[in-house]
């Protein structure tokens, strides 16, 4: 019986071309919930305690995989000679002894708990593998068991006879090997089969030649091993993962309405958050307790404080919103937006690269960019910070307790002193002193009895 060291590694097989995707993008880097398909498998291995990971790819996709997963090692399988050959090209990257997981790169629904269970099963045998019973085993390798119930061999679908094809227990494509045994077995694997390839499943028969037969771990939920060969299967896997994440947060005390909410894998939520239908939460968004998120909001890398109310259709990217704030509806918070406590941003307001102090508000139809806005400031409807001169960006500074009338333009760089008042319709081109009133508009003229033009009655 092998004595395993603490070394744990993983080989992820991702050399498939994915022709049925009909895409210039390799199958394994297509997106699922904001993360490449292959990254889901890599992360599952890491969550199972494996940091030494090698991904096997074809030469055609090496650069693209490296670009999206720069922190994993890449082994290249020059020609598609089968799964055993793919594992062989990864061997030089692996430790001499210990355990190695072999997984498929197109199974994003695989759980870290399942990987850990298969690793645990390999503690007493050179080979443990995952199996599953499915209603339609078409295309899968079948598990053939001996009279004592142990795994005798795995027969690929193309090589199976009618009796073997009637078996509903399939090879799930996840293995845990003792590395010493694996290094001995791989050179012995031939290609005498219907595909003319070197099958990794041949190691099952080799394992039976030793003292400890292979151990099978039976998986209850076949969703975990769903492979992806086209965009229909991609959409199916995305829905499985979306539902898994939503249900996780529901169990943590988050209310999620409807079946169309998308929560990314790196999003974090506190209890008593309430999320309406059609919401999308992307990236490393964090939402604190007591916050309500209205229908159709899209948040990306946003940090939302406690007891915030996001009305419908707020879009926020790389933005921070302080506790008690009210945002929307139809507001756009662009990168660099930092809003303090109890701030109010209303409908059709766009912000970018601004800081806004406690209790300030911009309730209607404004653009606020490259600005520092103090506390207790009122921004009237139609206010614009004119921050770009055609070559460079400039900042507007509005100190505490300033009142800005409607239809004001700040031609940056300008500073508005504490407690100043800006009259409606003013174009501000110079600094305004604290406590002053600044008004700049054309004088009003009146023409009595003006003969207004009217439409012809004909």
Distance from CA of residue 279 to its chain's centroid? 14
Encode 381-418 in three state secondary structure: CCCEEECECCCCECCEEECCCCEECCCCEEECCEEECC
Cα distances from 215 to residues 130, 136, 142, 292, in angstroms, run 9, 24, 15, 49
Q: What would the DSSP string read from start to end of 223-254?
A: GGG----SHHHHHHHHHHHHHHHHHHHHHTT-
DSSP state of 424: T
Between CA 184 and CA 196, with CA 140 as vertex, the angle to 5 degrees is 55
Question: Is the Cα torsion angle 434, 436, 437, 440 positive or negative in sign?
Answer: negative
Give the sign of the dihedral formed by CA 200, CA 201, CA 203, CA 206.
negative
Residue corresponding to tokens 């919401």: 279
Q: What single-letter DSSP state applies at residue 44?
A: H
345 close to 351: Cβ distance less than 8 angstroms: yes
Q: How far apart are CA 51 and CA 365, in angstroms?
A: 50
Active-site residue numbers? 364
Q: Which residues pair with 171 in a beta bridge?
A: 131
Q: How deeply is 90 buried, as exposed, middle or buried, from its count of CB atoms within 10 A (0-12, 13-18, 19+)?
A: buried
Helix, coil or strand: residue 271: coil
CA-based radius of gyration for the chain: 31
Q: Where does residue 29 fall: left (phi above 0), alpha (psi -120 to 50 degrees), or beta otherwise?
A: alpha
**3-state SS, residue 183:** helix
């Amino acid at each position: 019986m092998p004595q395993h060291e603490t070394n744990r590694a993983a080989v992820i097989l991702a050399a498939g071309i994915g022709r049925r995707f009909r895409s210039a993008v390799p199958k394994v880097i297509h997106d699922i919930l904001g993360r490449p398909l292959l990254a889901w498998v890599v992360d599952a291995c890491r969550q199972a305690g494996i940091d030494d990971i090698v991904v096997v790819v074809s030469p055609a996709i090496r650069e693209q995989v490296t670009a999206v997963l720069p922190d994993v090692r890449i082994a290249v399988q020059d020609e598609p000679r089968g799964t055993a050959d793919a594992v062989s090209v990864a061997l030089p990257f692996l430790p001499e002894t210990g355990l190695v997981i072999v997984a498929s790169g197109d199974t994003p629904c695989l759980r870290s708990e399942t990987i850990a269970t298969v690793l645990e099963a390999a503690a007493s045998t050179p080979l443990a593998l995952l199996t599953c019973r499915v209603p339609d085993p078409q295309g899968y390798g079948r598990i053939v068991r001996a009279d004592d119930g142990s795994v005798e061999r795995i027969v690929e679908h193309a090589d199976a006879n009618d009796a073997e094809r009637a078996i509903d227990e399939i090879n799930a494509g996840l293995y845990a090997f003792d590395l010493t045994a694996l290094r001995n077995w791989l050179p012995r694997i031939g290609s005498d089969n219907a595909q003319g390839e070197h099958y990794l499943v041949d190691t099952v028969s080799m394992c039976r030649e030793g003292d400890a037969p292979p151990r099978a771990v039976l998986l209850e939920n076949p969703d975990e091993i769903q492979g992806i060969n086209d965009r229909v299967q991609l959409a199916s896997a995305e829905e499985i993962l979306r539902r898994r994440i939503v249900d996780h947060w529901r169990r943590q005390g988050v209310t999620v309405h409807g079946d169309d909410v998308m929560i990314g894998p790196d999003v974090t939520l506190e209890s008593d958050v309430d999320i309406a239908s059609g919401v999308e939460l992307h990236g490393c968004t964090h939402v604190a307790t007591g916050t309500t998120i209205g229908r159709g909001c899209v948040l990306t890398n946003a940090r939302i404080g406690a007891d915030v109310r996001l009305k419908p259709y707020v879009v926020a990217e790389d933005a921070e919103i302080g506790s008690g704030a009210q945002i929307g509806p139809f507001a756009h918070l662009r990168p660099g937006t930092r809003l303090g406590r109890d701030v109010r941003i209303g409908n059709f307001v766009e912000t970018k690269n601004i800081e806004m102090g406690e209790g300030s508000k911009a309730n209607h139809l404004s653009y606020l960019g490259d600005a520092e806005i103090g506390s207790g400031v009122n921004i009237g409807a139609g206010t614009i910070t004119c921050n770009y001169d055609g070559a460079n960006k400039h900042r507007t500074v509005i100190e505490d307790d300033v009142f800005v009338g409607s239809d004001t333009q700040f031609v940056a760089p300008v500073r508005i002193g504490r407690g100043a008042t800006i009259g409606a319709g003013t174009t501000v081109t110079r600094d305004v002193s604290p406590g002053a009133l600044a008004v700049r508009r054309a004088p009003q003229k009146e023409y009595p009895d003006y003969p207004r033009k009217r439409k012809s009655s004909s």
